[in-house]
Chain A
């Protein structure tokens, strides 16, 4: 039985296949670009890759099942920051309402085709119900007063690094900051 894994690196995305005794590179994607993570959605066979282009920002790409090419899709986008809002993180630094990293990407429940969850820096949790065509910021978490106490762990700014969709009830989603 052949098994595949994605390896996301700062120099590209590598698709590895396991043969009887070893792993080998089956395909290389985004060569030279910083791929921060990849997701294979087992529900419909779609693949997703998050890229950090540095100067040019955070981008998200999708590859449909059986296809060789990727297409850029909408990245999670923060709403306009209200004028005059004094929004600071746990370090007291102003929060930049702009996606600075896609740090977690998870599929929704088995019967929620097209639903994706995305954790970002500076701490926004986003949900898509259309395979990443559009994203909605989970305002209930973003506007939670505790967010202003969040600190960056291993980074300068806070972020959502883990998302767990409860397999018993996919309406229950747990995140770690």
Chain B
């Protein structure tokens, strides 16, 4: 099964354990991860269900390209990471 990991910085605010999912596309994987954790969803996605501006998702080390519908492909043994982008000033 594919596995979704969340940045450890989220744990300060919301329960965000790694989740194993069965999916061929990212939106299916996210749907399973958020199904029992609606609060976590609001920390990763905005009101429109799109990826928050300064968040990034990687599948097997590659940054996803579809930040709205999450149509990127997921393999059965994929490692998915939900991270925050570096920013500052």
Give the B-binding residues of A (Cβ under 8 A).
Answer: 53-57, 59, 72, 75, 77-78, 80-81, 96-99
Q: In the complex, are the beta carbons of A55 and B48 less than 8 A apart?
A: no
How many chain B residues touch A (CB < 8 A): the figure is: 18
Q: Which 3 A-B pairs have the closest CB atoms?
A: A98-B47, A98-B46, A55-B84
Instruction: Give the chain B neighbours of A53 by CB distance below 8 A.
Output: 13, 43
Q: In the complex, are the beta carbons of A54 and B54 less than 8 A apart?
A: yes
**B42: which of A55, A57, A80, A96 is its contact (CB, 8 Å)?**
A57
A77–B39 CA distance with the chains assembled, in angstroms: 13
**B52: which of A55, A75, A78 is its contact (CB, 8 Å)?**
A55
Q: Number of A-B pairs whose CB atoms are under 8 Å?
A: 40
Interface membership of B21, Cβ < 8 A: no
A59–B46 CA distance with the chains assembled, in angstroms: 12
Q: In the complex, are the beta carbons of B13 and A75 less than 8 A apart?
A: no
**B47: which of A54, A55, A72, A99 is its contact (CB, 8 Å)?**
A99
Interface membership of B35, Cβ < 8 A: no
Give the A-binding residues of B (Cβ under 8 A).
Answer: 9-10, 13, 39, 42-44, 46-50, 52, 54-55, 84-85, 87
How many whole Å from B22's CB to the nearest CB in chain A?
A: 27
How many whole Å from B1's CB to the nearest CB in chain A?
A: 26
Instruction: Give the chain A neighbours of B10 by CB distance below 8 A.
Output: 56
Instruction: Give the chain A neighbours of B52 by CB distance below 8 A.
Output: 55-57
A9–B24 CA distance with the chains assembled, in angstroms: 44
How many whole Å from A94's CB to the nearest CB in chain B?
A: 12
Q: In the complex, are the beta carbons of A97 and B48 less than 8 A apart?
A: yes
A81–B48 CA distance with the chains assembled, in angstroms: 7
A57–B85 CA distance with the chains assembled, in angstroms: 14
Q: List 24 A-B contacts (CB under 8 A).
A: A53-B13, A54-B54, A55-B9, A55-B52, A55-B55, A55-B85, A55-B87, A56-B13, A56-B52, A56-B55, A56-B84, A57-B42, A57-B43, A57-B46, A59-B13, A72-B39, A77-B47, A78-B47, A78-B48, A96-B46, A96-B48, A97-B47, A97-B48, A99-B47
Instruction: Give the chain A neighbours of B43 by CB distance below 8 A.
Output: 53, 56-57
How many whole Å from A54's CB to the nearest CB in chain B?
A: 7
